[in-house]
Amino acid sequence: MKWWLAALIVLVAGYVHADQQEQGTLVLTLPQMIAMACAYNPEIRAAESGAAVARSDLKQVEAAYYPQFDMTAVAGPVNDAKEPIILNNRIHDPSPGLSFNSIGIFGMLDFTLSQPLYTFGKLSHREEAARKGYEAATLQIESKRNEIALRVKRLYYALVLARMGVHATGDAMDFFKDARRRISRLLDLGSVNVTESDLYRIDAFEADTLRSRAEAQKGERVAHFALQSLLQLPPGQAFKPADSKLKIEERSLPDQKTYIRRALEHRPEIRQLKNALFAQKAQVKAARSDRLPTIFAALKGSLAGAPGRDHLDNPYIFDQFNHAYVGVVAGMKWNWDFGIGSARIEKSEAEYNTLVNMKNNAEMNIPIQVTQYYQELLEWKKSAETYHRAAIASRKWIVSAMTDFDMGVGNAQDMLTGIEKYGHNQGQYLQAVFNYNLSLAQLNYAAGNFNRQPE
């Protein structure tokens, strides 16, 4: 077999193996990771359960507008009784005396179908409170989703940064390897422009690069593991980010006031507090309404029967063990207490004031938070642009220093210093790009507009 055919077989086999590995590795974009993390996150599931509880509270209040049916059925022993007779203008009871044989049984069914007609706000205020409470609970889900999305973004950017850092340190190490090769070649030729100590300088300068590479590899492993746990991927499932680089947005940002306005209007926490305030205010009104009567209509009835007792057809004589009646009534129910209702009103008002203070505190601190993230974003954008230019300049420095070194007009120190500065500037650029992207994510999160720019 010719050598080129064997090499071709090995090369094809390598490509097939690499393709199989690529097929087994999930390539996930940032939106995909956010969707996966939100789909299985227990914090979001807990928030959804809280919303379901609030929804059931609302259904209970809504059901209170409909008629309520109460029924009581009892049975028990009762003595037998005969219809009384009148002799000589005197009523005589022919019922048997109390004995074991004169004890029978009775059954009785009482029922009431009541419909509230006017409650002075007891139901309407509580319905409003339950509805706003449900809306606040659903906003808690949105708030949790934003928190999880921000967490995923931070880890995603960290993973991409670490992979970029490994590549950047490899680039710097290639420069050191090239410098070592050039110095070794001149030493072998007996050049007077280099000494043995120049090789030791390479080892000294290269130490920081090796340390940076180890840090980048550690960061990659940590971010990869954290994302795997957050996405709830199987332990053996390989994945990688779809982006190979972090970059700076070219489009101009809206001004700071736009972000602040957006945060105060659309941030889930602010909207949640507003709904909670409406709900608590309605609870205060409901507590005050409890001190007023409730007007209702009712259908009341009762059925009772005892086989051992005669039935009396006399409207003036009522036998509670043997009767039947049903009728429609209107009524008013009014509960009085000595201080309990007033204490409930005071408690509701205190809880309302607590929420007012929480909302005022949020409206005071959120603009500060937005301003901090906005200014950090501008700072890191400027830093990234500066260090990017510096990295380009230092790379040119390396090329120029190596050319001068080869021509015999330069020295090893200048060449190594250029490589060191290149590694430093490139590392600072990568860190600035990471901080820029993270600040942009935090800014959009603080503005309550995580997935798009504010309008």
CA distance 51 to 352: 21
What confidence tier does 199 reach under pLDDT thresholds 50, 70, 90?
A: confident
CA distance 183 to 202: 10
pLDDT at 392: 92
Q: pTM of the predicted model, to two decimals?
A: 0.79
CA distance 58 to 48: 15
Output the CA–CA distances (angstroms, integers) from residue 190 to 34, 63, 186, 380, 415, in the order listed.
61, 99, 6, 48, 19
Report which residue type is found at 71. Answer: M
Q: Range with the lowest mean pLDDT among 7-16, 127-136, 226-235? A: 7-16
pLDDT at 6: 33
Q: Residues 194-230, buried b or exposed e (16+ Cβ, 10 A)? A: beeebeebbeebbeebeebbeebeebbeebbebbbeb
H helix runs in 290-339, sequence order? none
| Residue 389 token pair | 């230019």
Greater confidence (183 vs 374) lies with 374
Environment class of residue 121 by beta-carbon count within 10 Å: exposed (0-12), middle (13-18) or buried (19+)? middle
Beta partners for 109? 73, 303
- What mean pLDDT is predicted for residues 245-250? 86
Q: What is the mean pLDDT of the chain?
A: 86
CA distance 117 to 294: 8
Using a CB cutoff of 8 Å and minimum separation of 24, what contacts does 13-19 make? Answer: none
Tell me if 374 sits within 8 A of 256, measured CB to CB.
yes
Please state, for a pLDDT cut of 90, what percent of the chain lies above it: 57
Helical pair 412-446 and 340-407, crossing angle rounded to 10 deg = 160
pLDDT at 250: 78
Asked if residue 398 has pLDDT above 60, the reply is yes
CA-wise closest residue to 246 among 447, 388, 448: 388
- Give φ, ψ of 350 to 5 degrees: -65, -40
**pLDDT tens-digit series, residues 79-108:** 887 777 777 777 666 667 666 677 889 999
Which residue shows structure tokens 């941030």? 267
pLDDT at 16: 34
Pairing of strands 85-87, 90-92: antiparallel
Domains observed in the chain: 27-66+120-292+340-446 (1.20.1600.10), 70-118+294-333 (no CATH)
Asked if residue 380 has pLDDT above 50, the reply is yes
Residues 6+ apart with CB under 8 A from 143: 47, 268, 269, 272
**pLDDT tens-digit series, residues 14-35:** 333 334 344 578 999 999 999 9
- What mean pLDDT is predicted for residues 378-398? 92
**pLDDT tens-digit series, residues 24-81:** 789 999 999 999 999 989 999 999 999 999 999 999 999 999 999 999 999 999 888 7
**pLDDT tens-digit series, residues 349-365:** 999 999 999 999 999 99
pLDDT at 84: 76
| Residue 441 token pair | 């994510």
Asked if residue 118 has pLDDT above 50, the reply is yes
